[in-house]
């Protein structure tokens, strides 16, 4: 009896885990649709979004006119390019003429360019116009300022400590810049690919585990029933 109860409880748990993954899949699909729709909208001026919370501005396509601050640049370490070649990204603070400040991911540079300043990929002097998509930070864990000018993920709180003033809660993934870079680097990074994640495969796994477990338990019950029947028949023959 105890074994049967345990098997039933485990089966119920596995089925619920499977349906939880299905719900996660539906949420992911809906969220991807929202992101894709946001990214397709025409760009708006970033100053019009200043002061708004992250949820209201993330994945918005924006344009901004301002100046880069090379003294406020950070290396985002260990990021492959579109072909899979390892390198780094350059995160540079930009302040608009209206005083809105944000971090701009200016793109990919070779892995060997891991010390600041990266003179080979310096942005244009003076005023620039940038267009891109505002992305949410990759981490919000409270950490200290960047070590040796490098970070492993985009953490606005960490970058704020390095820059020394307030920043927008999202960062800009650069897509266009006027005037453009004079050299080959940094190379503009691609937007993150929208995927459905592993939720469907995980759901299938949980349902399969449930079927395998129940089938195995049913087989074990049949085997024990046959053994008991065989023992009973042997006893009856002996009595005879």
Domains in the chain: boundaries: 2-29+198-232, 43-178
pLDDT at residue 25 greater than cutoff 80: yes
Residue recorded with tokens 């919000």 = 140
Length of the chain: 240
* Least confident segment among 73-77, 183-187, 199-203, 224-228: 224-228
Q: Does the pLDDT of residue 21 top 60, yes or no?
A: yes
- Please name the CATH architecture into which domain 43-178 falls: Beta Barrel (2.40)
Average pLDDT over residues 109-138: 92
Question: 29: which residues sit within 8 A by CB, 6+ positions away?
Answer: 196
Q: Return the structure tokens found at 19.
A: 């349906």
Residue 7 confidence (pLDDT) above 90: no
CB 126 within 8 A of CB 97: no
Question: What percent of the chain has pLDDT above 70?
Answer: 95
Alpha helices per DSSP H over the chain: 2-40, 54-57, 156-163, 199-239
How far is the C-alpha of 106 from the C-alpha of 118, rounded, in Å?
Answer: 12
DSSP 140-185: -----SPBTTEESS--HHHHHHHH-S---SSEEEEEEEESPPSSS-
User: CA quadruple 117, 123, 127, 131: dihedral positive or negative?
Assistant: negative
> Could you give the C-alpha distances from 99 to 129, 137, 145, 154, 202, in angstroms and in order?
15, 21, 23, 22, 47
Banded model confidence at residue 235, pLDDT cuts 50, 70, 90: low
Q: What are the pLDDT digits (tens) for 162-185?
A: 888 899 999 999 999 999 998 889
Report how far residue 130's alpha carbon sits from residue 146's, in angstroms, rounded to the nearest whole number.
Answer: 25
In the structure, what pLDDT confidence band is assigned to residue 32 with cuts at 50, 70 and 90?
Answer: confident
Look at residue 187 in the predicted model and tell me its pLDDT.
94
pTM: 0.78
**Per-residue pLDDT at 239 exceeds 80:** no
Where is pLDDT greater, at 235 or 210?
210
């Amino acid at each position: 009896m105890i074994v049967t109860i345990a098997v039933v409880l485990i089966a119920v748990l596995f089925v619920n885990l499977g349906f939880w993954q299905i719900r996660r899949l539906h949420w992911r699909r809906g969220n991807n649709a929202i992101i894709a729709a946001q990214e397709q909208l025409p760009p708006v001026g970033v100053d019009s979004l200043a002061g708004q919370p992250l949820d209201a501005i993330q994945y918005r396509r924006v344009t901004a006119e301002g100046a880069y601050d090379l003294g406020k640049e950070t290396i985002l370490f260990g990021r492959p390019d579109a072909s899979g070649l390892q390198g780094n990204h350059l995160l540079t603070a930009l302040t608009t003429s209206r005083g809105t400040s944000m971090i701009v991911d200016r793109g990919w540079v070779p892995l060997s360019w891991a010390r600041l300043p990266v003179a080979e990929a310096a942005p244009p002097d003076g005023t620039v116009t940038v267009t891109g998509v505002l992305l949410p930070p990759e981490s919000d864990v409270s950490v200290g300022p960047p070590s040796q000018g490098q970070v492993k993920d985009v953490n606005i709180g960490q970058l704020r400590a390095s820059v020394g003033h307030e920043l927008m809660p999202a960062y800009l993934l650069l897509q266009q810049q006027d005037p453009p870079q004079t050299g080959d680097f940094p190379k503009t990074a691609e937007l993150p690919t929208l995927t459905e994640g592993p939720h469907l495969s995980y759901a299938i796994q949980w349902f399969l585990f449930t079927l395998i477990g129940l089938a195995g338990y049913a087989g074990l019950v049949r085997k024990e029933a046959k053994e008991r029947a065989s023992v009973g028949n042997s006893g009856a023959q002996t009595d005879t």
